[in-house]
């Protein structure tokens, strides 16, 4: 019996140290998840909300679905977007992805067509 009691005492001593290590390791995993996943997502969300609030009439924007257009009117959370001449759609402000900066697009010049392979 004495041998069994000594084995149980040894197991209790060993498990106490490993439990503390396990809780510490789980805490480090939680901290890593916060800094690698949650914090960057909150930062992106905050930047997206600031951009959506900064958009004004006559800005060229792109929507989440890829439509380009000019903002013609805003009514609270509703944005009127002109996507073609005399064609306007009504969308939610949350559907705006980003503002298109015409200076950046024209600074690089017109996109060049790929060179055709030389015929032999």
Interval 18-27: pLDDT, tens: 888 889 999 9
Are residues 49 and 69 part of one domain?
A: no
- Based on the fold, state whether residues 60 and 49 are members of the same structural domain: no
**Strand, coil or helix: what is 24?**
helix
80 and 63 both lie in a single domain: yes
In a domain, 120, yes or no: no
Domain count of the fold of the chain: 2
Both 23 and 50 in one domain: the answer is yes
pTM of the model: 0.56
Whole-number Cα distances in Å, 25 to 13, 14, 41, 62, 100: 19, 17, 24, 44, 45
- Report residue 86 as tokens: 């005399």
Contact assessment for residue 67 and residue 81, using Cβ atoms and an 8 Å cutoff: yes
pLDDT at 8: 57
Instruction: Give per-residue pLDDT as tens, 49-102.
Output: 898 888 999 999 999 999 999 999 999 899 999 999 999 999 999 999 999 886
Question: Would 82 be classed as within a structural domain?
Answer: yes
| Distance from C-alpha of 63 to C-alpha of 61, rounded to nearest angstrom | 7
């Amino acid at each position: 019996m004495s041998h069994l009691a000594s084995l149980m005492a040894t197991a209790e001593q060993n498990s106490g140290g490993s439990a503390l290590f396990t809780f510490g390791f789980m805490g480090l995993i939680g901290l890593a998840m916060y800094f690698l996943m949650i914090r960057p997502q909150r930062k992106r969300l905050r930047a997206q909300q600031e951009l959506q609030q900064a958009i004004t009439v006559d800005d060229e924007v792109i929507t989440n679905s890829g439509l380009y257009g000019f903002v013609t009117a805003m009514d609270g959370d509703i944005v009127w977007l002109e996507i073609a001449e005399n064609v306007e759609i009504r969308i939610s402000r949350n559907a705006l992805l980003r503002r298109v900066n015409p200076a950046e697009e024209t600074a690089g010049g017109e996109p060049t067509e790929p060179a055709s392979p030389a015929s032999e």
